[in-house]
Amino acid sequence: MGFWNYFPLNIKNFWIYKISEKFSNDYVLTRVVINEKIPFSEKIIYIFSYYIDDEEIKKESYVIQNDGIYLYAKKVDNNLVVFEPLVPFLPYNFENIDWWSWEGKAGFIPTKILFQNKKIVEENTYKIVYTEENKYGKSEYSILLKKNIGIVREEAETPYIGYVSELVDYNVSFDDFSFIDFKTFDDSEIFVNEESSNLEGYEFEEFVDNDVVNYGNYEDDMVDFVDDNIQDDLFVEDITQDDDLYEEEQDNENRW
């Protein structure tokens, strides 16, 4: 069974979701489309665009490697957050793993994420819950992944908003990964021991880097961080950074 069957990757795949804040009857329809596929060495970068009506509101990029699907970056409006290292979103052998975790930086923010596989909750559907924690608080997510479809439902509770996202329509196909020599996820350096699988009590490094890039005007000037209550999506990394995954992309043009 291919793990990508639970997160179909191919150019022009799309999903339409009904998204509402928790305990609200109001909702918006959001269309998610894979707009770009960027081959890079033994990796492939897929760029997802999110639209409300015809307005693009967000982008996410995922990388497929020989041990799973990884989240590389998110961009909301003109604010780009790059994850360092890549976040293991769906390991190759996720069906047989109870949990996995990640620790790194989301932009400049030290962050920890704990994923838990609740296994099959209905026919051909896995439930994955994960907690993301940094100096701004804890965000909790729950997603249902259905075979041959992808994410069919998501619930989120963050320090800023809680929402429910439900699939209403989709059209997907599957890319050819026959050239990749897949391996199980337990060989990954990101995988940690079961004894440390609880985020409670984790200590975070003190955030001492007070500089961010002002992407609101696509400027390279560094500005001082002066508001401790600013939302974490304003912490961004320069897309022109020396990063192998985006060198080839920069040669062609800024695809974001």
Encode pLDDT of 97-139 as tens digits: 999 999 999 999 999 999 999 999 999 999 999 999 999 999 9
Across residues 14-28, what is the average pLDDT?
A: 93
Please check whether residue 27 lies inside any domain of the structure. Answer: yes
Q: How many separate domains does the chain show?
A: 1
Which pair of tokens denotes residue 178?
Answer: 């026959």
Please check whether residue 241 lies inside any domain of the structure. Answer: no
Distance CA 105, CA 63 (A): 17
CB atoms within 10 A of CB 74: 19
Please check whether residue 152 lies inside any domain of the structure. Answer: yes
Distance CA 124, CA 148 (A): 9
Please check whether residue 201 lies inside any domain of the structure. Answer: no
CATH number at 186 reads 2.40.360
* Residue 186: predicted pLDDT: 62
The span from the first CA to the last CA of the chain, in angstroms, equals 33
Encode pLDDT of 151-203 as tens digits: 999 999 999 889 999 999 999 999 998 888 888 876 444 444 333 333 333 33
Please check whether residue 7 lies inside any domain of the structure. Answer: yes
Which pair of tokens denotes residue 93?
Answer: 């052998």
Q: Range of 59's domain?
A: 3-190
Distance CA 155, CA 128 (A): 11
Q: Which of 17-26, 84-93, 236-245 has the highest mean pLDDT?
A: 84-93
